Structure 1
């Protein structure tokens, strides 16, 4: 049964017209067994973390919403503050992938238990619905009646319930298609029928209004259901749940992504591509291709990640990437890998594999602690900062959910095949592929990238003619890919672009050896600013600078614990690379006798850091590090240091005075600060986010030591004739009349806080509310912070 279900992703169902032929197919996850390597360690570490979670605590929101008694208290953190149940959906997917990858009976039992319990919830609900959204029944009834209040933060005053629900949909799909649980298929279709009924009387305009709220990849799952069932009504549902505000610029080849919440958009685009595959619309596929191209080429750093504080930064300036503690988000890369896999399978282009390899080896592998387990949310690119890790019973962030899935999927794209005539080796990953249809077992033995070669050993039930194609990665010097069969050079061809192919009659015992010489190259940021990272082959190199002040290294259950909140070390005190050579990488030299270890001593202008070693970034944990390095010439060194110092000094001084801060209009900071509001909107201006309201909006700011003395609010110089009141804990603090500011685009105003808030019995949470005067507007507000 397991093998049967695992092949469902290749189904072509009558009644659905495929718009693009699929020249390639992947193998089931169950067909690829990882062998000894850091990837296998990551897989096993993930499995232990998965099994350390309590399924009854994950199920509690579903049971409660179905009116059934929970068997355990629900988890805290995001699981009891509005996103209740989202982790349960991720958990289904993680169990499905981990069972497929390891055939572990305990993992299968856990998956079966989860599905059986969720089935009871769905049956109790009686209408096909299955979810943990708090107060979901009443909210969905409002939606059904056309009463829709949506913004980027949520829907009908609930925290992104459609996003939450998508995790359940995806979990059911993966439980069936990857994990082989037959019951999950029927549950998935019932849940999709519930959504059809929910939206049956809503206009397309009303659904588009609803999609202003983050909704994950609902369009992708509905397209999957269309293919599973062969029923076009589900394809229509997928099309209706495709956000036109994002789709239409992409169809026109326009990059309008600056300031947008990055991971809200990527799943939508995965859905655009999926709909194109199932429904036959090449324009939508082109939109997905354009999105991938602009994100990877213009918005992605060397490790394969993107975004600052979860949002796409301007392509013309990566300064915020280097300043922020909230660098690339793991969920973004998780979803970019899904999109890359889809685009590879429909196009056959190995450029998607080049990105897939880079992001997997560097970002994904680095986001799990290899010893204790635990997942990373943000990976700062700020020099000399660090990452923090979740703990199984504490952190319930989105990147824990995607992290649970990530490390069970390493084998999913290591190999592919074109019919029965061509086997493609995509990743140089220690692994064993079983291909029953060909009577073939291929064992890939390698310590790559520690060694510059890989060996493929074939076992065949009988001799067979087929093509073996080996990917020629973009990091490999031209003409340097060498292939030996049984120790002898062989002729190769280019049957598939991006591969070298050996066509012959293969016999059991044949051994193919692939030489993979690597070079060290310098990669600048996409904005071409003078910051450089080093890449050896596909491996990003980094250096440990400190192991000090790692505050909150293993995060607790606090709302902002996923951010590395330790001191910001001065950027101007970080090592600077000085070179007269245009090829900065020429100054990076291997350390003899230590594989994948390099010295930058010839370049570093600091005795303190000169003896640092560069190693694969994925090996660095529990430390502050350098991925990107400022680079200059000897003549420009003094000016370069002064420029960095000037940029960083003011930021650090402000951070030192800040007790708490929220950026209006950014989804996660607002969520973490208890955003509420009525008649309020958000957007961006000159690459900064804002919020204003015809009614009001508020945030809960933390003042744990009662040390705040002032409230600083940032306004735009262009906002005029706006009147509103700022209240703190319900008491008016000041009346504001915005009349613009001809001195600049943005300006700060500090409002003194009442001395009563300093008293020992004063509250430690300050509710800061912006309330518009009748007929006027409160804001726009670009930054709100409490200052010592």
Structure 2
């Protein structure tokens, strides 16, 4: 790569020249079209994240997901966690195999038993990362001590043989890198960066040196007929390499980030708004867009920002109403009927914890850079309709992997244990906090509406913002300010794009013209203890089509929630209703709606309330 052309001395002016701001028109029959993405970013520096410990959540659903995953990780045997590293490095390896993806199987054959031994040790770094984030949330010393022990035990196993024997050397290195960075940042492990250097020095000779496409063989000593040796994901590595540089690990990580940017056949065409998504592995290529965002945020590359923004818009065009994407883990051609076809052809609609983790990071970066509230809308939709409804991680490694948008859908565990989604789910559960609020100079942005309290200091003044309400089931959200001294700042509140007729009140007085759908409502004033902001976000029902080619296949939404139709049996007929019947859905309890049909009433539930019932995300209208 030519640094002078792509990375050095680049101005941030005009990095979002292309793109429409307009939302698609609302048709007279009540259908909403897709949103066009491409808001101009302000010239200001990106918004900052608050710390994990700055936000206290009071949402039982979110907290349950965090503590369920944390309990599982804390209970795992350390010998079992280190076993594949020790085995592959030729060391004594006491303890029981965890099994599933995590175990080492020197005779692994994906054609005979795909899952057992598929990616040994691949989630170790993610689990260390999640534990470090929980320590940042709680200050729990038992959690910190586990992180320190795991890092030191892992350091004893570092050997090139591990990477040589792994089908995923770049993937696993990437996760180990992040686990050590989070140990350094949140646990203050004094040895983390030294262990990272040892890891990097050992791993690099076994990595390709640059981004290699998924499904391309780059290891000449491996069986060319065994395609499982081509599934590594080196093109996702720059995000955490740039992050390592940003967090003080050294200039080499900046240079590595540049070297692994997947420019020629991925970021370059995307920056020109050329759609090259078709056929690519969905989660990993969407996740690679976070590397493009870090190339902008750390190295100033406007090209990579354009690539990420354009690609995100392309992914939105082929997303389900839930926010999920990538049926059968593949991105699709623009204008194709592939997403619609998947409603009958697969139950593997969206790789949920991994996909949502990538999506949350990407929308978080984009929101921070552009201040476009619609990225928050997308994050919220993904949260409520996919990962927040994931079945809990089990002690034996059973994990929820695919959200199912099939006409004959059901929530089930993946057949294999300790798959990749067991690594990302704990990270997702910790990250709800850093997705909820952001900060700028003398400014706070409320992005997600969750019962919570944000605590921070502004120019020496201690402040808190406490959020209450039953959103997304009720229209009303309330915020109360506490401040050690009266202080002037701007508090911004996301007004969702669908919230027509929204209103904002400050201390009981309505603020006229402030609540514009798809924007942040900015309130600047001198705040003092007891000041109260109330939002009314009308949760009107609406319909969204699966695509423009199949206007009679629709999902019913209310605010950010997709209301899914419960079926009498999984293989039963898809409910057939009219548009008018769907739009007249009647609420029969706090989290249950009912729709009339020619065959009797149809129960409609959000994904988080579905339990083990059979359902369909989409219905047919006539």
| TM-score normalised by length of structure 2 | 0.81
Structure 1 position 388 matched with structure 2 position 409: no
Matched residue, 2:371: 348
- Residue-by-residue CA offset, 1:72-131 (whole Å, 9 max, x unaligned): 123111112141111212211221222223333332232222122123334xx4xxx6xx
Matched residue, 2:592: 597
Matched residue, 1:622: 612
Matched residue, 1:221: 240
**Any idea what SS the aligned residue of 1:407 has?**
helix
Structure 1 position 540 matched with structure 2 position 548: no
**Structure 1 residues 352 and 113: alpha-carbon distance in aligned structure 2, compared to 1, 3 A threshold:** same
**Which residue of the other structure, out of 143, 152, 162, is the alignment partner of 1:136?**
162
Within-5 A mapping of 1:234-249? 234-243=253-262, 244-249=264-269
Matched residue, 1:150: none
**Structure 1 residues 444 and 245: alpha-carbon distance in aligned structure 2, compared to 1, 3 A threshold:** same
2: CA distance, partners of 1:230 / 1:98: 22
User: Could you tell me whether the CA contact under 8 Å between 1:19 and 1:277 is conserved in 2?
Assistant: no
Matched residue, 2:106: none
Matched residue, 2:181: 173
**Which residue of the other structure, out of 140, 149, 152, is the alignment partner of 1:116?**
152
Matched residue, 1:664: none
**Structure 1 residues 519 and 181: alpha-carbon distance in aligned structure 2, compared to 1, 3 A threshold:** farther
- Residue-by-residue CA offset, 1:135-185 (whole Å, 9 max, x unaligned): 43656xxxxxxxxxxxxxxxxxx5333222222122222222344434323
Matched residue, 1:730: none
User: Could you tell me whether the CA contact under 8 Å between 2:591 and 2:606 is conserved in 1?
Assistant: yes
Matched residue, 1:465: 488
Structure 1 position 274 matched with structure 2 position 298: no
More contact order relative to length (CA 8 Å, sep ≥ 6): 2
1:396: how far off? 0.9
1:272: how far off? 1.8
**Structure 1 residues 528 and 431: alpha-carbon distance in aligned structure 2, compared to 1, 3 A threshold:** farther
2: CA distance, partners of 1:105 / 1:612: 50
- Residue-by-residue CA offset, 1:411-459 (whole Å, 9 max, x unaligned): 112111112x111111111111110344012111122122211111211
2: CA distance, partners of 1:613 / 1:92: 41
1: CA distance, partners of 2:86 / 2:526: 58
1: CA distance, partners of 2:280 / 2:542: 31
1:196: how far off? 5.2
Matched residue, 2:504: 483
Q: Which structure has the larger Rg?
A: 1
User: Could you tell me whether the CA contact under 8 Å between 2:135 and 2:144 is conserved in 1?
Assistant: yes
**Which residue of the other structure, out of 165, 179, 188, is the alignment partner of 2:196?**
188
**Any idea what SS the aligned residue of 1:375 has?**
strand
- Residue-by-residue CA offset, 1:11-55 (whole Å, 9 max, x unaligned): xxxx99897553311101111111143222222222223333333
Matched residue, 1:288: 308
**Structure 1 residues 495 and 227: alpha-carbon distance in aligned structure 2, compared to 1, 3 A threshold:** farther
**Structure 1 residues 205 and 319: alpha-carbon distance in aligned structure 2, compared to 1, 3 A threshold:** closer
Within-5 A mapping of 1:354-433? 354-369=377-392, 375-389=399-413, 395-419=417-441, 421-433=442-454
| TM-score normalised by length of structure 1 | 0.65
2: CA distance, partners of 1:624 / 1:72: 40
**Structure 1 residues 600 and 271: alpha-carbon distance in aligned structure 2, compared to 1, 3 A threshold:** same
2: CA distance, partners of 1:412 / 1:204: 29
Matched residue, 1:87: 123
2: CA distance, partners of 1:495 / 1:575: 36
Structure 1 position 511 matched with structure 2 position 532: yes
Point out where structure 2 has 5 or more consecutive residues left out of the alignment: 1-6, 13-43, 104-116, 220-229
2: CA distance, partners of 1:444 / 1:536: 21
The RMSD of aligned alpha carbons is: 3.1
